[in-house]
Structure 1
Amino acid sequence: MNISIDWAVLLPTLIPALGAVLVLLVDAIVPRRRTPHFGIAVVTLGAALAATVPAVLQGFDRPLRSLCLPEGGCFYVVDEVGAGLQAAAIASALVIVVMAAPVRTQKSLSAIQLSAMLAATAGAVGVIAARDLAAWLVLLELATLPTIFLVALRARRTAIDGALNLLVTSLLSFAVTAMGVAMWFAATGEATFDADVVLAAVEVPETRRVLAASLMLILAGVGFKLSLAPFHLWTPEAYAGASAPMTAFLATVSKVAALGALLVVARPLVLVGGATLVAVGVLAALSMTVGNVMALRADDTLRFMGWSTIAQGGWVILPLLTASSRAVHAAAAYLLVYLVATLAVFIALICIAHQQGRDAMVSFEGLRGLGRRQPWTGAVLGLGLLMLAGLPPAIGGLLGKVYALQPVADQRHWVMLVIAAVNVMLGVAAYLRWVWQIFSSVRDETPARELRAHPLHQAMLAIALPVLVLVNLMPQWLFVLLD
């Protein structure tokens, strides 16, 4: 079998994977040297991000292809939405690597940490474009399994508990997803996610039922990784136990991988329709409601971000319950808004943790008056939270919610619109509770002595605020990644 390979199209996946191996090789030659490890990771991710530029600039009707068969089918396809998600995953990983550089870890573990992050990023980028069942399943797990070590890296009891929860969930989700993939092959007779084979299977009642069951299992398996309710229980524990940079990695890169994997099967979801679309709507409604209600009760910032991720996951998949051609674009657009806001929140939290310690960062009470003591940090944190809430002046967050609701409104799913409206109000209440803490007055006006933030974190804060302002003033600059 002759397969044509366009290596340039594969570079965004291959470069982080090679970087993961290179980090380990350098550590074997020059052990216990953190600086070379971080240097390799930054250069690798920068090169991978540059490699996504041709795909981002491609025309709407000209997806980039690789691993193609002589008869025309391809196993690796990057369309305009996939290109934007690939760039977003790599950019998020790059920000988190820079964010994690000043954070203390054992020198003997830094190489493994960065290798795991690069490997997970390679999986996240690859699964977005994979079109054959085997590669899709392997890359999805590659994006997940290294995160178990990243959660456990902090080596505290809460971290071990979170890692065990994530491990058990990952094994269960893999089993469910693998069963769905097997049933897909049984229904279609093909080992690819191809719309033509789906159409052929849908025409036969027996295979249509098997295909519907397959999609339900795949949706459940990916739902674990996207932190959708009721598959969400691992998320608050893992977020609370991991270090702040690794929590940021879970909340961003891992979610891009999960949505990218889900979008590969989104078109078959539309073709099969019926119960599968209803299941998407139920998951979206449950996730938004459970996440927002539990976020109202959270008193730990990292657990709050865990519940926030669950609620935001509901918004991400909300457009997919429609048969609209814009559903995939709307889901990806909302995810981009979520990524920018979440990264901003974690940049501010990590800066606080480096100055005052982890306890000050995880406590809502410890953040009281932050906007008065550190206006720049408070502004970044507050604007990021307002984006997640979708409240002005964070116009980007508001527009993201409009994007997510538009396909649902066009299809006149009134029940889902009412549920979404209720959850907008719940989300506003949850996020404003934190924003109020940041900008409220401190009972003890005596200024607490704080260490100076690390210069790298100060630089990231200095970049984050104008980026947030720009994204909210001109959000179309963010969405151009998907056009």
Structure 2
Amino acid sequence: MVSLDWLVLAPVLAPAFGVLLVLLADALAPRARGLHLPIALVAVGAGLGALPYAATSAVPARSLCRPGPEARCFYETAPRGLALQFLVLAGALLVLLMLGPGTTHLDRTQRGGPAVTVALVLAATTGAAMVPATRDLPTWLIAIELATLPAIALVALSRGRGAESGALSLLMVSLFSFALLAVGVGLWTLATGDATFGVDSLRVAFADPDRHRVLLLAILFLIAGLGFKLSAVPFHLWTPQAFVVADEPISAFLATVSKAAALGAAIVMLSPLAALNASGDSGATSVRLVIGVLAIASMTLGNLIALRAQDPLRLLAWSTIAQAGWVLAPLAMLTPTAASASVAYLLAYAAGTLAVFAVAAAVHSGTEGYGERSLTAYAGLGRGNPVLAAILALGLLTLGGLPPAVLGVVAKVVALQPVVGAGQWWLVAAAILNIVLGIAVYLRWLLIVVRPAGDAVPQRLRLDPGLAVALALLGAGLIVLSFAPGLVIGLTR
């Protein structure tokens, strides 16, 4: 028997229950196509509303606990986990707003009908919200795939040209990633004799030379599998292929909610290593080096190719790869403080990225698929649509870490603090170089926005109501967080 705290589980159960309600509504009232998005918004909102309950306790909120002398909880949300769940649910809410309300946008951009699209978004949200709270290996692996497989279906159902090939690429990568994770989980269990991410069993395995080698191999398999989910180099090639063929809200979901799930999985897996590292065990040194190298490669390659991209979604895809390096850089230090810095950086990145994707959805409405978008479409946006241009500028400056988007500046500082504190100057030098490259990437786009459109009259865009609400929330959020960036940092501690 295990004890259950339903309110602690609510951030996961609410979107899962939303899937059932959406499918039930579609079965009972197939013509009521406008019901699905409101049901999904209420379900995700209920999950967000339950988060403060778990955050009020001084100790991590726990559920699915086994009583007895070997008592252990299989669901636990520390502040970092709650911050990631907030990002997952808030990101899903904004994506749903970008998709609706109504069915006009969904019918134009997604096959299968609104019920299918909304149910897939909620299913992936359920998996992503579950990942950072799981503590046993089987559930951890299932939650990762639950966050991934519906997202593949969302790409496949896009009406854009090349959607099938993009979804196939994502599917093949996902299958390979799952194989790596499954092998890693098996080797971890073999080395530790434990089906959970326990510190004590890990310490015993590290102390035994034979088990130590098996455990290191398990960790490398797990890092490689999660590298695909994070879009880290050299596991990144699916990212531009999937982003450019999907609808902007779906690409935004892949860039934020899916990344939150991947980071949550990485933190759960690396937390026992962080505990060993804090106790002075040198066994985690090689793991730190591997993650650091992945971080540098992701930053550098992502920024260099983004500098040449002409399709805004391709640019954002390579930007996502570069930002994955920034998420990994502090995580490589293997300390609890470094993990919190990674989560704080991801929160800032997600806010800026969602704002940019929302503006892209407005600018490129009706032009979906490979080769149909261009940065030249943003020429004169500052004159014709100053509000949209301002939101886009705030998003790009946040990603580049430039004022007046103070949130982005603080996020870069927070990400570098653990690296500087650990004396990893080679990683600091690479990060500073990539700050310069990243500024060039985002300023190139911003200069096009403020550039006159020539003789053409700037077009005033008509926004769907849901997209307008999402843009208003994102714009207001970026302004508030630029004045009070500590709100983001405080969520992770």
Provide the TM-score with structure 2 as the length reference. Answer: 0.94
**Runs of at least 4 residues off by over 4 Å:** 356-361, 448-451
Counterpart of 1:204 in structure 2 is 208
Contact 1:19 1:41 in 2 (8 A): yes
1:411 aligns with 2:411: no
Between the aligned partners of 1:34 and 1:353, the Cα distance in structure 2 is: 25
Counterpart of 2:141 in structure 1 is 137
Q: What is the number of equivalent residue pairs in this alignment?
A: 478
Counterpart of 1:427 in structure 2 is 438
The SS at the match of 1:326 is: helix
1:155–1:459 distance in 2 versus 1, CA, 3 Å? closer
1:405–1:126 distance in 2 versus 1, CA, 3 Å? same
Which runs of 5 or more residues in structure 1 are unaligned?
none
Between the aligned partners of 1:240 and 1:413, the Cα distance in structure 2 is: 36
Corresponding letter in the other structure for 2:450: F
Contact 2:260 2:346 in 1 (8 A): yes
The 5 Å alignment of 1:15-414 reads 15-59=14-58, 62-70=59-67, 71-102=70-101, 103-105=105-107, 108-270=112-274, 271=276, 272-354=283-365, 357-358=367-368, 362-414=373-425
Contact 2:381 2:458 in 1 (8 A): no
Contact 2:252 2:354 in 1 (8 A): yes
Contact 2:98 2:358 in 1 (8 A): yes
Corresponding letter in the other structure for 1:474: A
Between the aligned partners of 1:56 and 1:352, the Cα distance in structure 2 is: 38
Corresponding letter in the other structure for 1:435: L
The SS at the match of 2:39 is: helix
The SS at the match of 1:231 is: coil
Between the aligned partners of 2:63 and 2:465, the Cα distance in structure 1 is: 42
Report deviation, 1:323.
Answer: 3.7
Corresponding letter in the other structure for 2:62: R
The SS at the match of 2:418 is: helix
The SS at the match of 1:362 is: coil
The SS at the match of 2:194 is: coil
The SS at the match of 1:75 is: strand
Which runs of 5 or more residues in structure 2 are unaligned?
277-282
Corresponding letter in the other structure for 1:28: A
The SS at the match of 1:269 is: helix
Between the aligned partners of 1:334 and 1:451, the Cα distance in structure 2 is: 32
Counterpart of 2:280 in structure 1 is none
1:322–1:371 distance in 2 versus 1, CA, 3 Å? same
Contact 1:376 1:461 in 2 (8 A): no
Corresponding letter in the other structure for 1:97: L
Between the aligned partners of 1:450 and 1:411, the Cα distance in structure 2 is: 51
Between the aligned partners of 1:464 and 1:198, the Cα distance in structure 2 is: 42
Provide the TM-score with structure 1 as the length reference. Answer: 0.96
1:470–1:328 distance in 2 versus 1, CA, 3 Å? same
Cα deviation code 1:356-402 (max 9, x no counterpart): 74589831011112111100000001110110000111111011011
Between the aligned partners of 2:48 and 2:402, the Cα distance in structure 1 is: 31
Report deviation, 1:458.
Answer: 2.7
The SS at the match of 1:31 is: coil
Cα deviation code 1:92-114 (max 9, x no counterpart): 10110011115232685211111
Report deviation, 1:257.
Answer: 0.4
Larger deviation, residues 184-193 vs 273-282 = 273-282
Report deviation, 1:206.
Answer: 1.0
Corresponding letter in the other structure for 2:465: P
Corresponding letter in the other structure for 1:193: F
The percent of aligned pairs where both chains have the same amino acid is 46
The 5 Å alignment of 1:460-471 reads 460-471=470-481
Contact 1:227 1:310 in 2 (8 A): yes
Report deviation, 1:453.
Answer: 2.1
Larger deviation, residues 165-174 vs 71-80 = 71-80
Between the aligned partners of 1:154 and 1:108, the Cα distance in structure 2 is: 9
Contact 2:205 2:211 in 1 (8 A): yes
Report deviation, 1:469.
Answer: 1.0
Counterpart of 1:458 in structure 2 is 468
Corresponding letter in the other structure for 1:283: L
Cα deviation code 1:289-336 (max 9, x no counterpart): 110001001100011110000000000011122143311110100000
Report deviation, 1:117.
Answer: 0.6
Larger deviation, residues 154-163 vs 287-296 = 154-163
Cα deviation code 1:193-213 (max 9, x no counterpart): 111111111111111111111
Between the aligned partners of 2:349 and 2:459, the Cα distance in structure 1 is: 33
Contact 1:56 1:84 in 2 (8 A): no
Cα deviation code 1:46-91 (max 9, x no counterpart): 00111111123332xx001111111321111111110111111101
Contact 2:362 2:461 in 1 (8 A): no
Corresponding letter in the other structure for 1:143: A
1:245–1:202 distance in 2 versus 1, CA, 3 Å? same
Corresponding letter in the other structure for 1:47: A
Counterpart of 2:483 in structure 1 is 473
1:346–1:361 distance in 2 versus 1, CA, 3 Å? farther
Corresponding letter in the other structure for 1:471: L
Report deviation, 1:450.
Answer: 4.3
